[in-house]
Every structure is written in C-alpha cells, then in structure tokens.
A and B are shown apart, each in its own frame.
Chain A
Amino acid sequence: MFSEFLADYNYIVVIILMMTGLYVVFASRNLIKKLAGLSVFQTSVFLLYITISKVSGGQPPILEKAYAKDYAGLAPETLIAAAEGAGKAAKGHGYNLDITYSNPLPHVLILTAIVVGVATLAIGLSLVVRIREVYGTIEEDQIEKADYIYNLEGTAD
C-alpha cells in the first residue's frame, strides 16, 4: 500500500534531484552557479546512499544500553546495579544487540564524502576567483571569447 508506493518514490525523487543538479552543471554558463549545481548533485548522491542504508523499523546505529528497555521505570541506582550485574554478563558488553539498527557503513562513507566534497568545492571556488581576476568575468561565453581573441592576435592589449 502506502509504503509499497514509497519504496520506488524515494529512489525516483533522489534521481530527479540528481538530474536537476547535473542539469545546472551542464546548462549554466556561470561558474559559481555551476559549482552550486555540482553541490546539489553531490548532496543528492549522498541521499541515495543514505536511503539505501535505511532499515525499516531500525534505529540510528548507536547501541542502546541493555537495561534501558528491560528495566524501564526503576530507580537510577537500581538501573546501574542491574547494568553491572545483568548487562555486563551478557554477550554485548551491556549493549542491546537485539534491536534493529540501520546500516552504519554507508553513513561512514558519506561522512568522508561530505568533507572531501567541501575540500574540492574550496579548490573550485578559488579557481573561479583566479579566473575572475585574470579574465574579469566568470561567464564561460566571455572567457571563451577572450581566449579566442588572445589566440587570434597573440595579445588582447
């Protein structure tokens, strides 16, 4: 029913977002707008990965203390004693491994990708600033025109 519909809906929306970012990269002739489109494209790819890593009914991959569910409603000191006694003796070092957690691996990969994405964005933007200093514009058409004139005459002066 509704969640069946959502199964495909999710991916399709992410693809639409990706293609929108890609379109901005292709179609716009302004370098900063291009980089903004690249950023949108990149963030959409992150969305695809995180969408894949979701497990239905799952929790964020932060392990829950074993006593949190079993001993709900007790006084704190009783809880601590229970954790020392029952939790530590259990398999998971006091963590409850019976809950469904979402997949942590794509999260880690995307954490790295976000930071690397900002690094590449910084490089791209400083290239844009340099282009602006030399050519006086960040519109691709005018940059190509200036290059054409320069190649034709050897100098634009």
Chain B
Amino acid sequence: MAVSLNASSVAIPTIALDIGLMALLVVVAFAIVRMRSLFAIVMLQGVYSLVCAAWFVSLDAVDVAFTEAAVGAGVSTVLMLAAMLLADRKSEPVPMKRQWGPLLIVLIAGAAMILAVGDMPNYGAANSPANSYVGMDYIARTAEDIDIPNVVTAVLASYRGYDTFGETVVIFSAGLGVLLLLGLNGNAGRWRAKPNGHRVFRPSAPAAAVSKTSDETKPNETKKRRGRPRKSKASTPDGGDK
C-alpha cells in the first residue's frame, strides 16, 4: 500500500507517457496487420521497436532500451530492408475466408491469457516472486563482488557470463548459416537449385521482375548480376548459371 501511494504521488506524468506509448504501439501493430506494401511493413516494424525502446526507458530498463534501439530498430530493420530488396516489394492480399481460422485461434489464446492476468502480481509490486529473490540479490552483492555501478552489466558479463558466451556462439552460428545459405563467394543472387537435374520453377525471378517493372528493381538487379553482359539478362535468364 505504501508503495502504491508513493508511486501515485510521483508518477502521474509517467503513467500518461506509458499510456501514450502503449496506444502508439497498438496503432503501429494494427497498421502492420493492414498494410500490404512490404516497405511500409518493414519501416513500421522499426518504428515499433523504437517506441518499445522508449517504453523500456520509462520502465527503468535503460540497457534494454539501448539494445532495442540499436539492434531491434537499427540492425533488424536494415536486414529486413536488404531481404525485401532481394525478394519482393508487395504482399498479395489474403482472402477473408482464410483469415477466420487464425483470427479464432488468436482470439482464444488472447482471451485465455487475459483471464490469467488476474493471477499476475500487480504492476510494479516490489514483493512479487519475480522481483524478490535472485534479482535483488544481484543488486545487494554487485557493489562488493564486482564494484561497478551498473548491475545489468555485472550480471551480464560476470554472474551469468556463460549465458553471454552462449549468445555469442548463437550469433556466430547464425552468421555461418547466413553465409552457407546465401553463398560464400558473393554469388548470392545467381545460384539456382536444380533437384534431380531439373529446375524447380521456371522463371528466373529477378529477371522476370525486371522485365515487368523496370525502374524499381533495376539497381538491385545490376548489382546482383554484375560481371555479366546486361543484354542477355532479360531474354535468357538462366544462361550464365553453368
């Protein structure tokens, strides 16, 4: 009780900020559902991450906010933009009859979770199970054990250093996987799968896209196929593979 009184005397502007950020997040998420232009979807996803980062600051998670703004809003948006340039610009509309099933599943799952909210500890409760034991122990011990002010850094690099080591292993394997999937020698846009010696799908995608809408995809196209004569590109899409 004393805690909530203390909070309500201080935190009315904070609550207003929180509600504004939540409303913004809901609007952005619903816009992602409605959009069909992939560019807009990717940029909105970056906006979503950035607004989340702002909310993290309001929720006292400043380190998470840094990381989310740099990695979530920065790196992953760049990655998705790059993939979008290599893949497609528009998504096809989904017919309404195929949306009812997912909608039903999502509504049921969401209703179940909202029912469970009643059992959650109150927002900001200092004596909730999550906030009681090991987390607060880290705060009490960091000053003497590690003697740096930032507890998150201390936990990340020292107490749970093996977690961080495993994380770097994950990043390394992900980079390795991307290299193996896209080719190690810069041939990312040129390789075509030929199971049993047959082409799976006839039209070589980038060339077909270029012949249809020339202006937008052309810079990307020429970059991907550099070193080949540009004339034969549209007519014989699979000429230079072997």
- In the bound complex, CA of A141 to CA of B131 (Å): 47
- In the bound complex, CA of A7 to CA of B45 (Å): 27
For B174, give its contact among A18, A56, A122 (CB under 8 Å).
Answer: A122
Most B CB atoms within 10 A — which of A33, A114, A146? A33
Of all chain A residues, the one with the shortest Cβ separation from B56 is: A50
Most B CB atoms within 10 A — which of A51, A129, A137, A157? A129
What chain A residues lie within 8 Å of B62 (beta carbons)? 60, 62
What's the A-B contact tally at a CB cutoff of 8 Å? Answer: 354
Of all chain A residues, the one with the shortest Cβ separation from B87 is: A132
What chain A residues lie within 8 Å of B188 (beta carbons)? 129
What chain B residues lie within 8 Å of A12 (beta carbons)? 114, 117
CB pair A126–B140 under 8 Å, yes or no, is no
Q: Does A156 contact B (CB under 8 A)?
A: yes
Given A13-B25, A23-B106, A107-B64, answer yes or no on A137-B45 (Cβ-Cβ < 8 Å): no
CB pair B25–A61 under 8 Å, yes or no, is no
- Enumerate B128-150 residues with CB–CB distance to A below 8 Å: 128, 130-131, 134-136, 138-140, 142-144, 147, 149-150
Main secondary structure of the interface of A (DSSP, over half): helix
Of all chain A residues, the one with the shortest Cβ separation from B45 is: A36
Q: Does A82 contact B (CB under 8 A)?
A: no
- B-facing mask of A58-97, CB < 8 A → 1, else 0? 1111111100000000000000000000000001111101
CB pair A36–B80 under 8 Å, yes or no, is yes
For A118, give its contact among B72, B84, B109, B138 (CB under 8 Å).
Answer: B72
The count of chain A contact residues (Cβ–Cβ below 8 Å) is 103
Most B CB atoms within 10 A — which of A16, A21, A97, A104? A104
Of all chain A residues, the one with the shortest Cβ separation from B133 is: A105
- In the bound complex, CA of A100 to CA of B11 (Å): 15
Given A20-B29, A127-B181, A156-B201, answer yes or no on A43-B12 (Cβ-Cβ < 8 Å): no
Q: Top 9 nearest A-B pairs by Cβ distance?
A: A56-B124, A30-B91, A26-B102, A119-B174, A136-B205, A105-B135, A103-B135, A125-B83, A56-B7
Please give the residue numbers on chain B whose beta carbons come within 8 Å of chain A beta carbons, in ascending order: 3-4, 6-8, 10-12, 15, 18-19, 22, 25-26, 29-30, 32-33, 38, 41-42, 44-45, 48-49, 52, 55-56, 59-64, 67-68, 71-72, 75-76, 79-80, 82-84, 86-88, 91-92, 94, 98-99, 101-103, 105-107, 109-110, 113-114, 117-118, 120-126, 128, 130-131, 134-136, 138-140, 142-144, 147, 149-152, 155-156, 160, 163-164, 167, 170-171, 173-175, 177-178, 181-182, 188-189, 191-193, 196, 198-205, 208
20 contacts between A and B (CB under 8 A): A3-B8, A20-B30, A27-B33, A32-B83, A36-B41, A36-B80, A43-B49, A57-B10, A58-B60, A62-B62, A97-B140, A103-B131, A106-B61, A119-B175, A122-B174, A125-B79, A129-B87, A133-B191, A133-B193, A137-B88
